[in-house]
Amino acid sequence: MVVRWKKANFMAIKSIPDKVLYVIATILDHNRICYSLSIGLSVPGDPRRTKYRRWAEKMIKNKKQRQKIYNALLRLQKRKLIEKKVFKDNAKGYVITPIGRLLLFGKTASDIKRKKLPQNQYILVLFDIPEKMHALRDIFRANLKLLNFEKVQQSVWICRYDVLGPVKKLINDSNLSAYVKLLKIVDAD
């Protein structure tokens, strides 16, 4: 997941766990795994990482601040936004869960450019997400609202803006493709 934030948005976040979640999202490798914060922060060449790197490096250097990072990682795990996994060769790392990816999407939705669709065209989202995934469903609805969708029914949402790409990404990143149908429709009037 490629995540882009404005510096002001990142600095406005007061919660250390939320900042750590942003940092993890920016240093994920191509498999969506963060093996180590310190190793991830030292990887050169990605300008998106520099603003978060400074904050995280400052936190990691100080012993008390480092403990805050570890506590934040534990809180993110308890909130089920990240998971700690053991991979091949006993390598340990963090993975952002579907709920975590949905929350990150919500934080970045304001940066998505929206242009109105031509007259009588709409994007329609239909979904039937099971009750056992209610937290994911509620966050999905909140993200639809951020993208200017309007509720027709609890699980039917409509939008006049061309946000087809971001909605597809939202559905795929949160592993909801089996439960969500996305349509671009033309009104017959």
Average pLDDT score over the chain: 77
CA atoms within 13 A on the CB side of 168: 7
Judge whether residue 20 has pLDDT over 90. no
How many whole angstroms separate alpha carbon 141 and alpha carbon 154? 9
In sequence order, what E strands does the chain have?
82-86, 92-96, 121-127, 150-153, 156-159, 180-186
Cα dihedral 91, 20, 72, 111, rounded to 10, equals -130
Whose tokens are 């934080």? That residue is 107
Report pLDDT for 3: 41
- The model's pTM is 0.66
Judge whether residue 91 has pLDDT over 60. yes
Mean pLDDT value of segment 165-186 = 89
Judge whether residue 8 has pLDDT over 50. no
How many whole angstroms separate alpha carbon 183 and alpha carbon 189? 18
